[in-house]
């Protein structure tokens, strides 16, 4: 089980560069993976300005992609959501 979690964690960390840091995507990376399922994952990282909500910044910090990847339990949460087929993996 621990080996599975480690391999999933390393896979998710490699995918982070493609998902979050769009500036890190090079033309070589696009040539290797033009249409993968990971290119269609949505992340809710921007804070909306519809009306003042003081807790929205905290929501992104607590339930965000980087926070999920930084802990073992967070990686397990992401993996469960991937296996369940969720459209949005994290905030």
What pTM does this model have? 0.45
Rounded to 10 deg, the angle between the 72-84 and 2-19 helix axes is 80
Average pLDDT over residues 53-69: 86
Q: Is the dihedral of CA 48, 65, 33, 1 positive or negative?
A: negative
Alpha-carbon distance of 50 to 40, in angstroms, equals 25
Q: In 1-91, which ranges are continuous DSSP H helix?
A: 2-19, 27-32, 56-63, 65-70, 72-84
pLDDT at 64 over 70: yes
Contact indicator for 85, 22 with CB cutoff of 8 Å? no
Average pLDDT over residues 58-74: 92
Highest mean pLDDT among 38-42, 75-79, 85-89: 75-79
List, for residues 6-57, the tens digit of each pLDDT value: 666 666 666 655 445 444 444 444 445 556 666 666 667 676 666 666 787 8
**23-27, 49-53, 62-66, 69-73: the lowest-pLDDT one:** 23-27
Contact indicator for 75, 81 with CB cutoff of 8 Å? no
């Amino acid at each position: 089980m621990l080996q599975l979690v480690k391999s999933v964690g390393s896979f998710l960390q490699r995918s982070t560069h493609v998902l979050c840091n769009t500036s890190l995507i090079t033309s070589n990376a696009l040539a290797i993976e033009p249409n993968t399922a990971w290119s269609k994952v949505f992340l809710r990282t921007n804070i909306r300005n519809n009306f003042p909500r003081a807790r929205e910044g905290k929501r992104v910090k607590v339930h965000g992609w980087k926070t999920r990847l930084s802990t073992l339990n967070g990686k397990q949460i992401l993996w469960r959501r991937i296996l369940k087929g969720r459209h949005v993996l994290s905030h």
